[in-house]
Amino acid sequence: MLRFEMRGFSGYAVQYSPFLDSRLAVATGTNYGLIGNGKLWILDISPEGQMVTRRDYLTQDCLFDLAWSELNENQCLVAQGDGSLRLFDTTLDKYPVAVYQEHRDEVASCNWSLIGRNTFVSSGWDGLVKVWSVGRPNSVMTLKPRTRSNTAVLDRPNGTGTTNGKDCVYQAKFSPHDDSLMVCCSGDSTVSLFDLRASQPGQGPTHQFMAHSGSETLSVDFNKYRTNVIATGGVDNKIKIWDLRMLRTGPLSIRGKWPEGPRGAKQVQCTNEIVGGHELAVRKVNWSPHSSNYLLSTSYDMTCCIWQDMGYATDRTRGNNSGYGVTTGRTNASDLRNGLVSRFTAHTEFVFDGDWSLWGAPGFVATTGWDGNVFVWKGTP
Amino acid sequence: MSARLNDIKDHLTGGAHPASSTDTTPDDVVIVAANRTAIAKGFKGSLKDVNTDYILLQFLLQLVASFPSEIRDHLDLIGEVACGNVLNTGAGATEHRAACLAAGIPYTTPFVAVNRQCSSGLTAVNDIANKIKVGQIDIGLALGVESMTQNYKNINSLGTISDELKTDKRANKCLIPMGFTNENIAQKWSIDRAKQDKFASESYNKAERASKTGLFKEEILPIPLPSGKMFDTDEGPRPNVTSDSLGQLRPAFIKDKGTTTAGNASQVSDGAAGVLLARRSIAEKLNLPIMGRYVAFQVVGVPPEVMGVGPAFAIPRVLKDAHLNVSEIDIFEINEAFAAQALFCIEKLGINPSKVNPRGGAIALGHPLGCTGARQIATILHELQPNQIGVVSMCIGTGMGAAAVFIKE
């Protein structure tokens, strides 16, 4: 385990460089990210196995997310509390090389497209998702997961399953398999899938469903191997795994008492869920880049976990070489350990983000949180 | 800053959302089948000459025959059988395992006998549901069977505790006969005889109506008697019961001032019931029908001398777990051990009386002790409409109450 302490700064996001095997970036804020400056840390893991600061960039407001450029190995994008996105170049000091200012409120997330390498997406507390091209100062497209028509369905009074109406889009991510597919999750519990080829400004998402029964959905991630599988984490402390092909139709209501909305969020059944894995809200979920059924979660309960999705078996776990995995019909509840591969407990505050190392032996993970620590640890045996 | 702080606060405090118990997931414990035998009158009814193993065997043969072929032809998929029973020696651990084997359930499927007095049938369901929840098994069968006719003799109605314990006031309370615990409730909370008789007569009328109009047809599996005759109709309900006719009966426990009579107490009966449970992911994989889902179960302890108040404390406890409140429940099946205790619970919880036992309760249908909980589930899952929520509850001798929440699908 490696540890790096960022005195006075709380970690909100951490990501391994996609180009350099020893480099990490961490987005942080002072005063627990509630008020004050932010700082982007570029850390190098030295040959002696120590994390050292290569550069840092002080920002005027707290930083909530970051995304390494997939185009330029030196560039790193941050999501800032003042509504701006800033692109820093690690060969330069102090100032960003580009500023993208459109979000009205805090930018909650940013994500670089793995396929369309000059495209990235951002989401914010203003309820908007914006698609950007790196060379253009203005967004290419603005999407709104919450439209007038689905709001009517989502916020029915007095029904169990109604949402708190929170607009904030906590995370938006491109599909690693198809650069025109983008998924995002919101404070109103919904997960929205946008097909950018079909999306029109002002129109709702291509698909939308309530993922955490009315509780805020804080994180979403595409599986890196199974093209239709996503995972979500929410304030109901659950992690859910969904197959986008199984967007089962049916009224949103769980009690059959609400009329169906015009373009309402459907009630969808997940293919697997991890219940009781975390004692508090799940802040981030992140699928392994090395295995189709390993998942990293970080939580307000100060722990991070690696889970095995018991609903799916890969060739390796099944011990044959047919070339394909299969669904098993099992759920994580059918496993006595709930599919838990490992739990990391060294953080002493909320753990906000974690990322898998793409480099070296599979299974290394970097995590960061409110305690100002960055830990690098081995998550899988 | 305050917005960011509030956001974090929401994430920390938003965990308990009311819908968390009411949306469907692959981990849900679902009910695939819930049936029962007709309930026979004790000592003079159709089942008076047979014992529980016979009743259970015949019931299981019918139940298995009613299963979809995915289960019927692969009974080894049943991971465990739990059977509630109160009066048999050792809760029938031997003879009921024997009945399972005779019914064609393979020896590889283990068996457990469960006795928590009147909640045994419900406790068996909870036992199976928990095993499914933690992943020990995927599919399980919960049963309840009782022949009060054959086995009432097995218990000393005063119970047996050692002389050394009899001097302990607390221990001694467990020996209070059930009728007296009910008289205690009637007296303490002033529930008069007329009110009890009215409640009892309504139970009779509801059961009579339900029986006549065939509402029990779907839940009752007819079983053959040794004579070859089929037994398919409840023997407890009788026509033309009024509070006046019940008013003629003499108190059964306290000769002069008592209010509990044979008419406003549950009947002595024989019968069996069974509930097949599975994890949803497995039920869907096997294409099994899903009647509803098990949501939560709780048992609480109450003073033994007023054991009948059990449901009044068990129901709020289980509803809290499910993030539901009393008004959101569509039907309550509350076992009518006695009219006074049932009335106390209904009034204490402020339940709309029309939601309670719409097809009559144990006063009219009978109360085969270990079978009752499973019987109530068979009844409630056939009376609930899709997406309605039901609660099954009962009081338990020696001072307890049990309650469980089910949602029809």
According to the model, what pLDDT value does residue A254 have? 36
The whole-model pTM stands at: 0.80
Question: Are residues A311 and B281, on separate chains, in Cβ contact within 8 Å?
Answer: yes
Q: Residue A172 pairs with which residues in a beta bridge?
A: A184
Question: Are residues B22 and A160, on separate chains, in Cβ contact within 8 Å?
Answer: yes
Tell me the chain A residues in contact with residue B134 when contact means C-beta distances shorter than 8 Å: 333, 336
Kindly give the interhelix angle for B339-349 and B178-188, rounded to the nearest 10 degrees.
50
Say yes or no to pLDDT of A148 above 60: no
CATH number for the domain harbouring residue A325? 2.130.10.10
| Residues A343-369 pLDDT 10s | 999 999 999 999 999 988 899 999 999
Q: What are phi and psi of B198, to 5 degrees?
A: -65, -45
Tell me the chain A residues in contact with residue B3 when contact means C-beta distances shorter than 8 Å: 105, 125
The candidate with the shortest Cα–Cα distance to A158, out of A279, A23, A255, is A255
Question: Are residues B25 and A273, on separate chains, in Cβ contact within 8 Å?
Answer: yes
The domain defined by B2-152+268-399 folds into Peroxisomal Thiolase; Chain A, domain 1 (3.40.47)
3-state SS, residue A375: strand
Q: How many CB pairs under 8 A join A and B?
A: 115
Overall number of domains in chain A: 1
Q: At a CB cut-off of 8 Å and minimum separation 6, what does B347 contact?
A: none
Question: Are residues B25 and A34, on separate chains, in Cβ contact within 8 Å?
Answer: no
Question: Are residues A281 and B135, on separate chains, in Cβ contact within 8 Å?
Answer: no
Domain that holds residue A12: 2-378
Q: How far is CA B17 from the centre of its chain?
A: 28
Residues of B noted as catalytic: 118, 367, 395
For chain B, the distance separating the N- and C-terminal CA atoms, rounded to the nearest angstrom, is 45
Q: What are phi and psi of B42, to 5 degrees?
A: -70, 145
The residue ranges of every structural domain in chain B are 2-152+268-399
d(CA B100, CA B77): 14
Question: Are residues B24 and A269, on separate chains, in Cβ contact within 8 Å?
Answer: yes
Kindly report the nearest CA distance between residue A6 and chain B, in angstroms: 21
B interface toward A at CB cutoff 8 Å?
1, 3-5, 7-8, 10-12, 14-15, 17-20, 22-27, 133-136, 138, 279, 281-282, 285, 323, 328, 386-389
Closest-CA residue of B relative to A255 is: B387
ipTM metric: 0.86
Question: Are residues B281 and A330, on separate chains, in Cβ contact within 8 Å?
Answer: yes
Which pair of structure tokens corresponds to residue B279? Answer: 């994890």
Which pair of structure tokens corresponds to residue B150? Answer: 């054959």
Closest-CA residue of A relative to B29 is: A333
Kindly report the nearest CA distance between residue B4 and chain A, in angstroms: 6
Residues A8-35 have a mean pLDDT of 96
Which pair of structure tokens corresponds to residue B396? Answer: 């338990």
Residues A300-320 have a mean pLDDT of 81
Alpha helices in chain A (DSSP H): 148-154, 315-318
According to the model, what pLDDT value does residue B159 have? 64
Mean pLDDT, all residues of chain A: 87
| Residues A28-66 pLDDT 10s | 999 999 999 999 999 999 999 899 999 999 999 999 999
Kindly report the nearest CA distance between residue B84 and chain A, in angstroms: 25
According to the model, what pLDDT value does residue B322 have? 87
Q: Which amino acid is at A381?
A: P
d(CA A185, CA A203): 17
Q: How far is CA B395 from the centre of its chain?
A: 10
Kindly report the nearest CA distance between residue A194 and chain B, in angstroms: 24
**pLDDT band, residue A317 (cuts 50/70/90):** low
Kindly report the nearest CA distance between residue A166 and chain B, in angstroms: 10
Place of tokens 């949501």: B295
Q: What is the largest CA-CA distance in chain A?
A: 63
Mutate to test the interface with A, among B5, B11, B27 (most CBs of A within 10 A): B11
Say yes or no to pLDDT of A250 above 60: no
According to the model, what pLDDT value does residue A271 have? 87
According to the model, what pLDDT value does residue A149 have? 55
Q: Which amino acid is at B276?
A: L
Question: Are residues A269 and B3, on separate chains, in Cβ contact within 8 Å?
Answer: no
How does pLDDT run along chain B (409 residues), one tens digit per residue? 788 998 999 899 875 554 344 467 888 899 999 999 999 999 999 999 999 999 999 999 999 999 999 999 999 999 999 999 999 989 999 999 999 999 999 999 999 999 999 999 999 999 999 999 988 999 999 999 999 999 988 766 556 788 889 899 999 999 899 999 999 999 999 999 999 999 999 999 999 999 999 999 999 999 999 999 999 999 999 999 999 999 999 999 988 889 999 999 999 999 999 999 999 989 988 889 999 999 999 999 999 999 999 999 999 999 998 888 999 999 999 999 999 999 999 999 999 999 999 999 999 999 999 999 999 999 999 999 988 999 999 999 999 999 999 999 8
According to the model, what pLDDT value does residue A266 have? 47
Q: At a CB cut-off of 8 Å and minimum separation 6, what does A211 contact?
A: A185, A189, A190, A191, A217, A220, A232, A234, A240, A242, A268, A270
Q: Count the residues in chain A.
A: 381
